[in-house]
Chain A
Amino acid sequence: MIVRSLLVGISMLSLTVFVAQAEQKQEIEIVYFTQEKTAPPALSNLDPFIRDKGELGAELAIEDNNTTGQFTGQLYKLNKVIVPIDGDVAREFNDKIAGKFSFVVANLPADDLLKIINANKPEHTLIFDAGTTDDSLRQRCASDVLHILPSRAMRADALAQYLLKKRWTKWFLVTGASDEDKLFAAAIKRSAKRFGMKIVAEKAWDHTYDARRTAQSDVPVFTQGVDYDILVVADEQGLFGEYLDYRTWIPRPVVGTQGLIPTSWHRTHEQWGAVQIQNRFKEQKGRWMEEADYGAYLAIRAVGEAATRTQSSQLNDIKPYLLSDKFVLQGYKGRPLSFRAWNGQLRQPVLLAAPRSLVAVAPIEGFLHPKTELDTLGFDQPETKCK
């Protein structure tokens, strides 16, 4: 019997992989770290609250990694650490993860993520941020965290490219009360400036947050007296944005956090093999793949891709590979995905989706870049202080 499971030292290009014996499997353990969530205030009774967003994507990625692993002699294990609602994220990280694991996929809000970044020793643990869209986290210019989901700036740029193509250049910006809404609005303003759009009006939504009974009277008055092409809404929690469409004073479409949304994943997406993973996910997990699932999926697939190529389970081999030019991740979006080495952001196309149809995929044709058109989305290296 031929036993040649690891051909260490042979150049990767000429590496032929043999089926390894079970006892020789190289183990790669990945932690999925999140906190239990409470159901948000119900805007309507249409969409059920999904408790395991992200977690099921992580599971599918481990399964996919292991399908490859059976041929490469590697075994991937998922270790879920789920902090209870009243638990302390930083303490759980210190107690259960810090110093013990090399790869952690965190699905946490920005403030919690920052706590674990500060508690982390990057030489021991690489954190994959599969939950935030926060631009300030990405401006730290540190490579101790890899950010999987597109930042707010990338999303706003994707929208702006499409709106410019449509020549819908006069925007009316409506912003909710939360800090996140203000960050989304800031990203919208940055994109408007970047692509020469005009924000002709800007208003804070201060009406009731359960608008089911009142929207018909509130929204026309709220949007009256402004001449604009498109209503851009910043409402990340989804508290009022859904009630703007069809109720504005003049007939104008809604984009932003509701209406036409920029996202890295959507159930309407089926091109470039996406229909395959949508089907696989739905069949195995019993629901649609959500954006958080896609984030966790890509993070774990990235570890798998790097572990396959380097034939290593070690952080010291895998991390440099992830940040190198050699790393290419297939993400069902028609372009190779890779990390921006200067801030750890995964570069990727951004989908522009209506509830039941995929409208466009950014970068929109015609927006050019000397290196990759994917870098027309979000902060490009010269716009940051990162090296």
Chain B
Amino acid sequence: MKNILWIVALCAAVTAQAETVYVTLEKDNALAIVDPIAGTLTKTVPVGQRPRGIAIGPDNKFLYIATSDDDTIKIIDAETLEEVGRLPSGEDPETFALSPDGSRMFVSNEDDSQVTVIDVQECKAIKEIKVGVEPEGIAASPDGRWVISASETTNMLHWIDTESLAIVDNTLVDPRPRALSFTADSKFVWATSEMAGTLTILDAETRQIIKNIKLEVPGVTFDKIQPVGVAIDKDNRWGYVALGPANRVAVIDAKTYEIEKFLLVGERVWNLAFSPDQKRLYTTNGVSNDISIIDLASHKVTKSVGVGRYPWGVVAKP
């Protein structure tokens, strides 16, 4: 009886925390757990060598973390933070995308210029797809139709049909495409080009470029504006682009594609993640070793939380 009460109390304590943010720390070989409401670092746990890409499954039970120097993607229980499995990602995994139902994972293998497709249930690689040189950014469309892989040196977006697992089209974009994201309705793709300082928006139906935005920040020389992470809210109202060493996040109107404002965050801002309710945006700041919390109603940076060395990827769980 006493034990049961204790468990109930523990459950209550867990549910009381509305949200958890997970941040991979590339240099600390660890995962930082942040309470974004309190704005505090809860704890840091070792997770493997050089953790970078991170995602959470659709049921919010498991985290997937690319531990690049372990040459695997680890499956971590989101509650206990214990390792429960490993996926055969190929060498040096950095970024990957989960299919909307969480059954398949698409991993960029930079050194081998290919994308590895993994059956998550079976923990098995089922296909290797040859793409351009140094694939990095990769995204799955919410409707399950497409996976797009961006190759940094070939400067292309490769459209992978998720039925046939083959490339059906290639789109040339500006130099060094880094990250991309679909809108929630799967109709548009936003892709950043780090060396050109641009954002390219494509129509997913026609696979044509419909807009190219040069991201210019007053008072910052053009070559420091290096867009990386990109996120668009579920209402397709605002999009956000992390500008790397320009230390800012661009807020872009997702209808008119006008730049609304720039939010000053930490140094070398890399990747972005929404809170599950999309009231906040979290940014990893690779050089200042913190994450910034942006309130999306006011478009203001409300807090920065020190997390550890080289924060790389970020994901939030309700």
Contact = CB atoms under 8 A, between A and B. Distances in A.
Interface of A: 13-19, 64, 67-68, 71-72, 273, 276, 279-280, 283, 305, 308-309, 328-330, 334-336, 369, 371-374
Contact of A336 (B132, B196, B208, B209): B196
Contacts of B134: 273, 276
Contacts of A309: 172
Contacts of B196: 328, 336
B156 interface: yes
Given A279-B111, A328-B175, A330-B195, A68 B212 contact: no
B153 A328 contact: no
Contacts of A283: 111
14 contacts: A13-B212, A16-B207, A17-B170, A68-B133, A71-B132, A71-B154, A273-B110, A276-B134, A279-B111, A328-B175, A328-B196, A334-B226, A371-B221, A373-B221
Given A13-B212, A330-B195, A335-B223, A276 B172 contact: no
Nearest to A326: B196
Contact of A72 (B172, B194, B207, B245): B172
Contacts of A334: 226, 245
Given A68-B132, A68-B156, A330-B176, A16 B223 contact: no
B132 A67 contact: yes
Given A71-B154, A305-B175, A372 B223 contact: yes
B208 A16 contact: yes
A14 B223 contact: no
Given A273-B152, A374-B223, A14 B209 contact: yes
Contacts, number: 87
A17 B172 contact: yes
Contacts of B257: none
Q: Which 4 A-B pairs have the closest CB atoms?
A: A336-B195, A71-B170, A330-B176, A68-B154
Contacts of B221: 369, 371-373
A372 B133 contact: no
Contacts of A373: 221, 223-224
Interface in B107-124: 110-111, 113
A28 B245 CA distance: 36
Nearest to B210: A14
Nearest to A283: B111
A67 B171 contact: no
B222 interface: yes
Contact of A71 (B156, B223, B224): B156
A89 B222 CA distance: 41
Contacts of A13: 200, 209, 212
Interface string B193-216: 011110010000001111010000
Nearest to B153: A64
Query: How many interface residues does chain B have, given as a range?
Result: 20 to 34
A18 B169 CA distance: 6
Contact of A16 (B132, B172, B212): B172
A350 to B, nearest CB: 14
B290 interface: no
A276 B156 CA distance: 17
Given A17-B171, A373-B223, A68 B111 contact: no
Contacts of A308: 155, 172
Interface in B221-248: 221-224, 226, 245
B71 to A, nearest CB: 13
A336 B156 contact: no
B132 A328 contact: no
A328 B172 contact: no
B175 A329 contact: yes
Contacts of B245: 334
A336 B152 contact: no
A360 to B, nearest CB: 15
Contacts of B195: 328-330, 335-336
A16 B169 contact: yes
A336 B223 contact: yes
A123 to B, nearest CB: 28
B174 interface: yes
A369 B153 CA distance: 28
Given A14-B208, A16-B208, A71-B132, A330 B152 contact: yes
A62 B123 CA distance: 37
Nearest to B132: A67
B209 A16 contact: yes
Nearest to B154: A68
A330 B176 CA distance: 7
Contacts of B153: 64, 67-68, 330
A64 B196 CA distance: 19
Given A67-B153, A71-B132, A369-B221, 8 more contacts: A16-B171, A16-B207, A276-B111, A279-B111, A305-B175, A330-B153, A371-B221, A373-B224
Contacts of A16: 169-172, 207-209
B175 A330 contact: yes
B251 to A, nearest CB: 23
A308 B175 CA distance: 11
Contact of B156 (A17, A64, A280, A371): A17
B280 to A, nearest CB: 29
Contacts of B132: 67-68, 71
Contact of B133 (A67, A305, A328): A67
A13 B212 CA distance: 7
B295 to A, nearest CB: 30
A339 to B, nearest CB: 14
Nearest to A71: B170
A64 B169 contact: no
